[in-house]
A = this chain, B = another copy of it.
Amino acid sequence: MKANSASRLPHHLPATAQVVALAGGVGGARLADGLAQVLPPENLTIIVNTGDDFEHLGLYICPDLDTVCYTLAGLANPATGWGRADETWQALESLGALGGPTWFRLGDRDLGLHLERTRRLRMGQNLSQVTRHFCRALGIAPTVLPMTDDATPTWVYTIEGELPFQEYFVRRQCQPQVTGFRFEGAERARPSPGVLEALNKADLVVICPSNPWVSIDPILAIPGVRPAVQARRAVAVSPIICGETVKGPAGKMFLELGITPSALAVAKHYADLLAGFVLDREDENLVEQIHALQVQTLATDILMKTPQDRARLAKEVIEFGLRLSCTS
């Protein structure tokens, strides 16, 4: 069901507009899917956080890339947002019965993908090549790029000490109080092939409603990415509604870092990068303060419950973003 591009884009917008989305986990994947629904595939590039990637059970696991790819391929578990629909858990159960670690939930179908990615990486392919191959195999038409092919693991500073991201996020369920973050090796990492090229020719850069601290900041930490985003003046979509994160620990992190969690806090976090900010209607009271940051706003319904919500929000974000760049 591929609509022609004329019926996808608002008539008054250029059908050739190039859109780049920066995305992390579930929220990012959902808006990326909305963008994929309304844009011709050749007009959309999704740059995905790989700071969450880790090796576990000898497998190379890329949680955000997989969430984005499963979502775009229509394979994601609709209940959790991560992992696969119709998943089974035989391997993990068998491993657990032998005393193996089961804190990181790996379903059987998901395992098949991790085994194949690990095999290809060991053969000498880089993550970009593997991701391109997986997208082709899964029928994903837009370009999905890992932010880098280099390892830049996210560490979470907590009052209990520094934790690898998945230890903090999954094993410790985000319990330890956060004091900061570190993207190991990011300063020496190279953006993966196509990342800077896509940003430099983008008519619109969309910062998806992902966690600013651990999904988007790792992408911006890759040399060259932040200035390229800044040069395009991006549009961000808030991952926070009425002071609460839609999903994940972003709100808790803001709070623990001494910042009241809100759409305003997110807009401030990105302020130097933004031409526009999309927040929920429920947060319209914050609009004035965001305008004071020299950032335009669009208040709309940003909660994506259905695939239709994703497409509708994506369309509004594109219209808003391209209008801003036309008038700026």
- Interface of A toward B, CB cutoff 8 Å: 57-59, 87-88, 90-101, 107-113, 115-116, 118-119, 122, 133-134, 137-138
Cα A40 to Cα B254 in complex, Å, equals 63
Complex contact B90–A116 (CB within 8 A): no
Summarize A's interface: helix, strand, loop or mixed: helix
Knowing A57-B118, A100-B116, A119-B57, say if A108 contacts B91 (CB, 8 Å): yes
Partner of A98, one of B94, B99, B134: B134
Q: Smallest Cβ distance from A102 to chain B, in angstroms? A: 10
Query: In the complex the two chains form, what is the Cα distance from A107 to B137 in whole Å?
Result: 22
Question: Quick one: which of B99, B115, B122, B138 contacts A137, CB cutoff 8 A?
Answer: B99
Once the chains bind, are A58 and B112 in contact (CB under 8 Å)? no
Residues from chain B with a CB closer than 8 A to the CB of A57 are 115-116, 118-119
The answer for the CA separation of A96 and B115 in the assembled complex, in Å, is 11
Residue from A90, A92, A99 with most neighbouring chain B CB atoms (10 Å): A90
Leading 8 A-B pairs by shortest Cβ distance: A94-B112, A90-B108, A95-B112, A100-B116, A91-B112, A94-B109, A108-B108, A91-B111
CB-defined contacts of A98 to chain B, threshold 8 Å: 112-113, 116, 133-134, 137-138
- Expressed in whole angstroms, the minimum distance between the Cβ of A76 and any Cβ of chain B is 14
Known: A92-B112, A109-B91, A112-B91. A97 touches B137 (CB 8 A): yes
CB pair A94 B108 closer than 8 Å: yes
Contacts of A133 in B (CB 8 A): 98-99
Residues of B within 8 A of A88 (CB): 88, 90, 108
Closest to A95 in B: B112
- Quick one: closest B residue to A99, CB to CB? B137
- Give the most central of A90, A93, A101, A112: most B CB within 10 Å: A112
Q: Which of B93, B99, B101, B109 contacts A109 (CB 8 A)?
A: B93
- Nearest-CB distance from A239 to chain B (Å)? 30
